[in-house]
Amino acid sequence: MTDDEYRELLRLLTRYAETDLDQFDHWEIESSYGPVYVDFSRSVPDTSWYTKVVPPAS
Report how many domains make up the chain.
1
d(CA 21, CA 30) in angstroms, rounded, equals 21
What's 53's DSSP letter?
A: -
Q: Quick: pLDDT tens for 33-56.
A: 999 999 899 987 777 877 887 877
Q: Is 14 a member of any domain? A: yes
Instruction: For residue 11, count CB atoms less than 10 angstroms from its CB and return exposed for 0-12, middle for 13-18, buried for 19 or more.
Output: middle
Instruction: Report yes or no on 31 lying in a domain.
Output: yes
Within a domain: 38 = yes
pTM for the model = 0.71
Whether the predicted pLDDT of 58 surpasses 70: no
The secondary structure of 25-56 as a DSSP string is: EEEEEEETTEEEEEEEESS---GGG-----PP
Return the H-helix or E-strand segment holding 38.
Answer: strand 34-41
Would 29 be classed as within a structural domain?
yes
Tens digits of per-residue pLDDT, 15-34? 999 999 999 999 999 999 99
